[in-house]
Amino acid sequence: MPGIPLPTHASERAVASREQGAGARRRGTRRRPPQRSGLAALTGRFARFAPLARRLRPAYPRPGRTGWRRWMPSWRQWLAGWALSMGLTGSLLAIAYAATDIPTNLNTYATQQDNVYFWSDGTPMARTGWVRRQAMPLKDIPQDVRSAVLAAENESFYSDPGISVKGLTRALVRTVGEGDTQGGSTITQQYVKNVYLTQNRSVSRKFTEAMIALKLDNKMSKDKILEGYLNTSWFGRGTYGLQRAAQAYYGKDVSRLNASEGAFLASLLKGAGLYDPTLSKANHKRAVERWSWILDRMVKTGKLSPSERAKYKKFPEPLKQAQTFDTGKQSDYLVELATQYAKKAAHISDKQFDLGGYQIYTTFDRKRETALTDAVTKARKKALKDDPKTAKAAHYGASSVATDGRILAVYGGPDHRTQGYNESNASTVPAGSAFLPFVYAAALEHGVHKTRDSTATPVTPDSVYDGDDGVPVSTPEGPYWDRSGKKVAAHNDGKKSYGQITLRKALAESVNVPFMQLGMDTGLATVRQTAEAAGLLSSSLGPQVPALSLGSSTPSAIRMASSYATFAAGGTHIEPYSVRRITRNGSPVALKTPGPHRAVGADVAREVTAALTDSFRTAHADAAPASAQVAGKSGTTGDADTAAWYVGTNRSVSTAVVLYRIDLSKSLEPLPLKGIDGAAGADVPYDIWAGAMSPLR
């Protein structure tokens, strides 16, 4: 520019530049820095970290070092690497923890249990289900037993976060190095494995287990976790959970275990196949050593006093063989009855019942069941010995029922596995003359009608009826005709005639003719109503024809025993039932139990019982002393004698026995009993009845 000389030297140009910049700043403008490429810009930004990077960057070989030290990182590099790895690990664990959810569905084996049935005395009778497990509330497991498990498996359980970092690390190292994941698990982790995961051994499963355990420990109480663990762990002998283990190894409930027994069961958690002392001498040695170690650990952790420890010097030898239940034979018939009743009375669905966990306390009396089964077995063997061909088709059904409705015993058949239906509960053959007491009771209770529109005329035990054989049955309009146009007439056993006979004597001597006419006079609808009120099912009574009075109905042995019990109970009936109490995992289940209702008046019941007492003494004069409260009656059906009954009571128990023949391979038609001991087999039911009632004497 004219008037201003241009700088010619570099220093002069620099000064001029600075002056121009200062002038620009004074004028409010700023000279923009020169634009640089993207790579240059990035390099510039990180240039400030260059000094730190130079200090941390490995320089190999390192100056100022000799030997192998020239190739080792500095302590700063070690520290930086450790901090970086810890940060990354922590971040990964936090992400994994947040991403892991506690599964909503439990393993099938973790929830399914067996159902256990008990005799009336509280001892185990049978079990059903594929899994031997019975969950118990933690409060029902003794503290010493819990402490033994904690001492053996995880003494820091109540203070740890659900996992053991040291143990987990050791387990992971062993998994990678040796393919073995045993060890390193807390009780929480073991519980998670039992109920949420599979039993496969892998690093991924172990990692998932740890994440779920951490979350579960934050959401579930320690007591609940321990309870779940004790109820889902494997103890050998086919059992899961402490309750079933206590029964399998010591034959008693877990609530009755002491610290010594608990210490042995705790040792099984390390491996039941290695610590069941009954399997081998080596197992016995291992079991004793671990049992002693666990007790010592309990002392060390303050859970067992030294004086208490001193009491347990002798190893608590378990049962050599787990107690087995009598299944496949009579107990299966008992289980069948109890199951049907339990589901109905407690409103338990099939699905709920199959999940198990129910304790079903039945009404079945072990001694009476044994006596009844032995009596039938004895009769069956004798019949097979005397006439094998005839006896092969023989069927026996029996039941004992208390006056308060409890079913005490049943005989359902020789073996439930080969005969699935229950003879004691089957409506198969007619009751015959064993039905006469219901006709007698109906007449005494309601009176008779001599004409269609007349009022009822009272009937007493001394009322007289015609007892001659073959007397036609009459109605107010005249004789009763069947569909073929013949007069209907009743026949006595052996077609014997008795002339005029009182009703009480007719019942005692089982004279049929008076009772067919008595049924018509009383009204067949009234007879039917009385039989139902006493306990027979309407479905078993059949058509309402004159033959109803002579026992054309087909009641079961259970129902006949229950109905006769009504008379022994003074006319009050309670429906027969087989379950008195149900619990699930120790908690009561609401159970509807039958209540009493008046079937006939007390005076009528006394008269029926008196006539049945006469019947018993007439037929079996030497069987019981005069003071015995025994009443009973036999029953046969028709001329062919295809069924024989004996039903009777002794004080508060009633038993009914039925014998009949059917060759199921050919037809369902009943066959004559001739050839099975006694007169048409009539003595066999009584012999069985007497054997079954023997515990009462």
Q: Containing domain of residue 211, as a range?
A: 135-311
pLDDT at 679: 47
User: Are 304 and 437 found together in one domain?
Assistant: no
- Give pLDDT tens digits for 350-390: 878 877 889 999 999 999 999 999 999 999 999 988 888 88
User: Are 298 and 437 found together in one domain?
Assistant: no
Q: What is the C-alpha separation between 376 and 478, in angstroms, rounded?
A: 47
Q: What is the C-alpha separation between 444 and 604, in angstroms, rounded?
A: 6
pLDDT at 47: 58
Q: Do the domain assignments include residue 481? A: yes
3-state DSSP call for residue 623?
Answer: coil
List the one residue out of 381, 394, 376, 379 whose CA is nearest residue 663.
Answer: 394
Instruction: Report whether pLDDT(183) > 60.
Output: no
DSSP string, 553-587: ----HHHHHHHHHHHHTTTEE---BSEEEEEETTE
In angstroms, the Cα distances linking 524 to 136, 438, 510, 527, 584 are: 55, 11, 19, 5, 47
User: Do residues 535 and 577 lie in contact, with contact meaning Cβ atoms separated by under 8 Å?
Assistant: no
Domain boundary among 534, 553, 572: 553
User: Do residues 222 and 117 lie in contact, with contact meaning Cβ atoms separated by under 8 Å?
Assistant: no
Q: What is the C-alpha separation between 535 and 200, in angstroms, rounded?
A: 58
Domain boundary among 520, 553, 586: 553
Instruction: Report whether pLDDT(328) > 60.
Output: no
Q: What integer is the mean pLDDT of 32-55?
A: 54
Q: Do the domain assignments include residue 558? A: no
User: Are 443 and 294 found together in one domain?
Assistant: no
pLDDT at 6: 46
- pLDDT bracket for residue 256 (50, 70, 90): very high
**Residues written for the chain:** 697
Instruction: Report whether pLDDT(234) > 60.
Output: yes
Q: What is the C-alpha separation between 316 and 219, in angstroms, rounded?
A: 38
Q: Do the domain assignments include residue 41? A: no
List the one residue out of 560, 599, 562 whose CA is nearest residue 578.
Answer: 562
Q: What is the C-alpha separation between 631 and 650, in angstroms, rounded?
A: 7
Q: Which of the listed ranges 15-19, 306-310, 562-566 does the model predict with the highest average pLDDT?
A: 562-566
Q: Do the domain assignments include residue 412? A: no
Q: At what angle do helices 241-250 and 222-232 cross, to 10 degrees?
A: 40
Domain boundary among 553, 572, 607: 553
Q: Do the domain assignments include residue 544? A: yes
3-state DSSP call for residue 437?
Answer: helix
Instruction: Report whether pLDDT(244) > 80.
Output: yes
For 628-652, letters b (16+ CB in 10 Å) and e give eebbbbbbbbbeebbbbbbbbbbee
pLDDT at 3: 47
Instruction: Report whether pLDDT(39) > 60.
Output: no
- Give pLDDT tens digits for 395-408: 999 999 999 999 99
In angstroms, the Cα distances linking 674 to 475, 683, 686 are: 36, 12, 16
Would the CA dihedral through 343, 346, 349, 351 be positive or negative?
negative
**For the chain, what is the domain count?**
2
> Which amino acid would we find at residue 23?
G
List the one residue out of 676, 673, 616, 621 whose CA is nearest residue 646.
Answer: 616
Q: What is the C-alpha separation between 594 and 573, in angstroms, rounded?
A: 10
> Which amino acid would we find at residue 187?
I
pLDDT at 147: 95
Q: What is the CATH number of the domain that holds 255?
A: 1.10.3810.10
Whole-model pTM: value is: 0.72
Q: What percent of the chain clears pLDDT 70, i.e. is strictly above it?
A: 76
Instruction: Report whether pLDDT(318) > 90.
Output: yes
Q: What is the CATH number of the domain that holds 516?
A: 3.40.710.10
Q: Do the domain assignments include residue 480? A: yes
Exposed/middle/buried for 57, CB within 10 Å: 0-12, 13-18, 19+?
A: exposed
Helical residues (DSSP H) of 125-233, grouped into ranges: 143-153, 165-178, 187-195, 203-219, 222-232
Structure token pair of residue 420: 């699935």
Q: What percent of the chain clears pLDDT 90, i.e. is strictly above it?
A: 49
Phi, psi of 653 (to 5 degrees): -125, 135
Instruction: Report whether pLDDT(460) > 60.
Output: yes
Q: What integer is the mean pLDDT of 309-314?
A: 94
In angstroms, the Cα distances linking 179 to 12, 186, 272, 294 are: 80, 19, 21, 28
- pLDDT bracket for residue 536 (50, 70, 90): very high
- Give pLDDT tens digits for 46-70: 556 556 555 555 555 666 666 666 6
Structure token pair of residue 175: 């998994």
Q: Do the domain assignments include residue 586? A: no
Interior angle at CA 424, CA 341 and CA 533, nearest 5: 70
692 or 183, which is more confident: 692
Q: Do the domain assignments include residue 294? A: yes
User: Are 306 and 443 found together in one domain?
Assistant: no
Instruction: Report whether pLDDT(233) > 80.
Output: yes
